[in-house]
């Protein structure tokens, strides 16, 4: 008779709820397929030594290249304010010259031949007095650009943390799936052995043996595919988090940061999402550019002071110092229509920026609704998948019992085992999605940041660098010493 085969294994937790552990523990029947819902190859050590999802996100926050590149870009943008403020400050230049002059000719009826070495030095200082408010508007524009870039950095931070959480859960999912597929091979190998034994005594036909062999070949192919998928997930984990996955603890959903209702989530997202705030600051940048260009039509006033010292070794009377202070006013009259065209162009760009704000709001609203729907679906899928696994376990046991008395064929048993395997794979995917989609919702509303979620890591402060450089009058070293 056909009996069960395989190993009795205990399921290990895959995800963890804030209210407690979500342990999906199942004991196999004699030939059941184990459901390892955690990284058995990764999490075989004490829980204290395991990498948690929160610590992995902290690693990504500190070391992810894309995020660090965004911070460097923001620091470069900070310098725009210092550059704009330079329009208020004087400019100074120092010049010097020295030469050799040969003279041959008549001076006062006398033939003269002499050499002189003229030289001198001068200091010139220019101070802007009025430039049509261009400096003021450039400063306001640069400050708005800094705020826009800060929101863009926050968007990068959220995207990095979400992708890191996704990579973490993908490694857990794929490791659990690989262990599941390997166990399936062991079960089918034992199934094939028993089928061959029954064939040898005449209880089954060659067709039953061939069916068992075919299922085993397919199972081995599935193991190879699962190994490839796990390697790909490990590579993505390394790229985003910066280390190889070793011992991964169960993932925990961010339910405590998910709003109670969809309407509340949309309200928060429209108010706080960095994509919307970034486009609003871009409107300020574009409006300031209009003011800067309009300032080119205004009169300009400046003051220039100069001191020059001249030396001449042949004619002492030419030696001396001169000093001057000159006020200048220039009034633009017509520049070929260039400035007027630039102003019209800038106004159109303001209109474009305002439209982009509405587009960003629509995108954020759509992303929130999509993420919310996926989260609700994942919750239902976890419950349904658990019920499916339980039902398939009962069905498999029943098919085996019926096969013992000749009411079921070997193919019926193999199909029942495949149904159970598929159900358990679906449960793994559903549990992974249950965690990932909570992160997706929190990201969609604009709150998947280290500061809001209180991850255990030092928070990068963009304002610190801004305050260090905005009022610097000179110096080429960056605040970090470069």
Q: Is the entire prediction scored with pTM above 0.85? A: no
CA distance 333 to 380: 72
CA distance 463 to 448: 20
So what's the pLDDT on residue 33?
36
Looking at the domain assignment, is residue 294 inside a domain? yes
DSSP-based three-state secondary structure for 227: helix
Looking at the domain assignment, is residue 406 inside a domain? yes
Looking at the domain assignment, is residue 115 inside a domain? no
Looking at the domain assignment, is residue 105 inside a domain? no
Residue 255 contacts residue 16 (beta carbons within 8 Å): no
Looking at the domain assignment, is residue 149 inside a domain? yes
CA distance 36 to 22: 13
Give, as one character, the DSSP assignment of residue 87: G
Alpha-carbon separation of residue 148 from 141, 227, 274, 283, 451 (angstroms): 10, 43, 9, 10, 18
- Half-sphere exposure of residue 193: CA atoms within 13 angstroms, side-chain side: 11
CA distance 482 to 468: 14
Contacts of 426 (CB under 8 A, 6+ apart): 381, 385, 388
Looking at the domain assignment, is residue 306 inside a domain? no
Torsion angle, alpha carbons of 164, 165, 168, 171, to 10: -100
So what's the pLDDT on residue 37?
41
Looking at the domain assignment, is residue 96 inside a domain? no
Looking at the domain assignment, is residue 318 inside a domain? no
Environment class of residue 122 by beta-carbon count within 10 Å: exposed (0-12), middle (13-18) or buried (19+)? middle
Which residue from 386, 389, 416 is spatially nearest to 401, judged by alpha carbons?
416
CATH number at residue 446: 1.20.1600.10
CA distance 144 to 156: 18
Q: Which long-range contacts does 222-225 make (Cβ < 8 Å, 24+ apart)?
A: 222/181, 222/184, 223/178, 223/181, 223/182, 223/185
82 alpha carbon, distance to own chain's centre? 28
CA distance 209 to 213: 6
Question: Per residue of the chain (482 residues), what is the pLDDT tens digit?
Answer: 344 444 333 333 455 543 333 333 333 333 333 333 433 334 433 344 678 999 999 999 999 999 999 999 999 999 999 999 999 999 999 999 888 877 777 766 677 777 778 888 999 999 999 999 999 999 999 999 999 999 999 999 999 999 999 999 999 999 999 999 999 999 889 888 888 988 888 888 899 899 889 999 999 999 999 999 999 999 999 999 999 998 899 988 999 999 999 999 999 999 999 999 999 999 999 999 999 999 999 999 999 999 998 887 655 556 788 899 999 999 999 989 999 999 999 999 999 999 999 999 999 999 999 999 999 999 999 999 999 999 999 999 898 888 887 788 888 888 888 899 989 999 999 999 999 999 999 999 999 999 998 888 999 999 999 889 988 888 888 887 67
Torsion angle, alpha carbons of 156, 159, 163, 164, to 10: 60
Give, as one character, the DSSP assignment of residue 257: G
Which residue from 426, 58, 2 is spatially nearest to 199, judged by alpha carbons?
2
Q: Give just the sign of the alpha carbon dihedral 261, 264, 270, 275.
A: negative
- Which is it for strands 91-98 and 20-22: parallel, antiparallel or unpaired? unpaired
Count up the domains in the chain and report the number: 1
Structural domain of residue 248, as residue ranges?
15-89+133-298+334-469
CA distance 109 to 166: 97
DSSP-based three-state secondary structure for 163: helix
Q: Which two tokens stand for residue 30?
A: 């004699």
Alpha-carbon separation of residue 30 from 61, 214, 304 (angstroms): 46, 22, 97
Which residue from 252, 290, 208 is spatially nearest to 442, judged by alpha carbons?
252
Question: What length does the chain have?
Answer: 482
CA distance 38 to 9: 13
């Amino acid at each position: 008779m056909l009996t069960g085969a395989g190993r009795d294994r205990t399921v290990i937790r895959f995800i963890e709820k804030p209210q407690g552990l979500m342990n999906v523990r199942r004991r196999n029947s004699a030939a059941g397929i184990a459901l390892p819902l955690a990284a058995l190859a990764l999490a075989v050590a004490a829980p204290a030594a395991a990498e948690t999802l929160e610590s992995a996100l902290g690693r990504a926050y500190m070391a992810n290249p894309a995020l660090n590149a965004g911070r460097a870009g923001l620091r470069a943008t900070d310098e725009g304010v210092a550059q704009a403020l330079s329009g208020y400050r004087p400019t100074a230049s120092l010049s010097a010259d020295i030469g050799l002059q040969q003279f041959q000719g008549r001076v006062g009826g006398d033939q003269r031949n002499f050499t002189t070495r003229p030289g001198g030095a001068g200091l010139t200082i220019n101070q802007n007095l009025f430039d049509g408010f261009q400096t003021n508007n450039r400063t306001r524009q640069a400050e708005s650009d800094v705020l826009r870039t800060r929101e863009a950095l926050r968007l990068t931070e959220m995207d990095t943390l979400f992708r890191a959480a996704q990579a973490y859960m993908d490694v857990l999912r794929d490791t659990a799936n690989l262990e599941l597929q390997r166990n399936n091979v062991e079960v089918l190998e034992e199934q094939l052995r028993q089928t061959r034994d029954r064939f040898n005594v005449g209880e089954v036909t060659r067709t039953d043996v061939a069916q068992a062999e075919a299922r085993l070949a397919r199972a081995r192919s599935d193991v190879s595919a699962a190994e490839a998928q796990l390697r790909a997930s490990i590579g993505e984990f390394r790229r985003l988090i910066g280390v190889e996955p070793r011992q991964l603890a169960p993932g925990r959903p961010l339910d405590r940061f998910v709003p109670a209702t969809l309407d509340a989530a949309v309200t928060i997202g429209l108010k706080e999402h960095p994509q919307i705030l970034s486009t609003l600051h871009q409107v300020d940048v574009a409006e300031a550019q209009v003011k800067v260009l309009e300032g080119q039509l205004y009169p300009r006033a400046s003051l220039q002071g100069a001191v020059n010292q001249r030396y001449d070794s042949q004619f002492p009377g030419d030696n001396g110092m001169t000093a001057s202070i000159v006020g200048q006013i220039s009034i633009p009259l017509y520049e070929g229509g260039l400035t007027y065209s630039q102003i019209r162009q800038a106004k159109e760009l303001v209109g474009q920026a305002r439209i982009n704000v509405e587009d960003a709001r629509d995108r954020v609203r759509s992303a929130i609704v999509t993420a919310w729907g996926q989260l609700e679906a994942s919750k239902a899928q976890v419950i349904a998948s658990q019920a499916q696994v339980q039902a398939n376990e009962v069905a498999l046991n029943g098919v085996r019992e019926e096969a013992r008395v000749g009411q079921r064929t070997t193919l019926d048993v193999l199909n029942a085992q495949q149904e159970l395997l598929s159900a358990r794979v679906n449960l793994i995917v559903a549990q992974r999605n249950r965690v990932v989609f909570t992160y997706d919702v929190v990201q969609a509303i604009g709150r998947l940041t280290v500061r809001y979620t209180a991850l255990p890591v030092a928070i990068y402060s963009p304002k610190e660098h801004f305050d260090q450089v905005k009022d610097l009058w000179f110096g080429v070293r960056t605040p970090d010493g470069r």
